[in-house]
């Protein structure tokens, strides 16, 4: 990693706090309005990718893993370009 791309602990902490707060907020809204935003509490009634995943609450971890893998796939071309590009 170059110095300009180095991870910043303060930024990582802020992102983790934001994710935590959004999760709490969505769970609060779900309980107040009887909704299931993001299918965090149950799988949807209609066919979806979630049918091939484990039952609740284990599918939430599988979705998180898919999100990380997706980000890695999208980042791969930029990683390769950064390595190949002369400095």
Q: What is the pLDDT of residue 8?
A: 64
Distance separating alpha carbons of residues 30 and 54, to the nearest angstrom: 21
Does residue 30 contact residue 36 with C-beta atoms inside 8 Å? yes
Distance separating alpha carbons of residues 17 and 14, to the nearest angstrom: 5
Does residue 62 contact residue 53 with C-beta atoms inside 8 Å? yes
Q: Calculate mean pLDDT across residues 42-55.
A: 83
Q: Calculate mean pLDDT across residues 77-83.
A: 91
Residues 6+ apart with CB under 8 A from 56: 41, 42, 43
Residue range 13-24, pLDDT digits in tens: 777 787 777 778
Distance separating alpha carbons of residues 15 and 74, to the nearest angstrom: 19
70 by DSSP, 3-state: which?
helix
Residue range 24-42, pLDDT digits in tens: 888 888 888 888 877 777 7
For the chain, what are the domain ranges? 1-38, 42-87
Does residue 28 contact residue 16 with C-beta atoms inside 8 Å? no
């Amino acid at each position: 990693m170059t110095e300009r791309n180095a991870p910043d602990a303060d930024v990582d902490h802020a992102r983790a706090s934001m994710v935590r707060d959004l999760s709490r907020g969505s769970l609060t809204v779900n309980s107040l309005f009887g909704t299931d935003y993001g299918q965090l509490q149950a799988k949807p009634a209609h066919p979806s990718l979630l049918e091939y995943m484990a039952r609740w609450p284990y599918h939430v971890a599988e979705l998180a893993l898919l999100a990380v893998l997706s980000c890695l796939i999208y980042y791969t071309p930029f990683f390769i370009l950064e390595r190949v590009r002369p400095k």
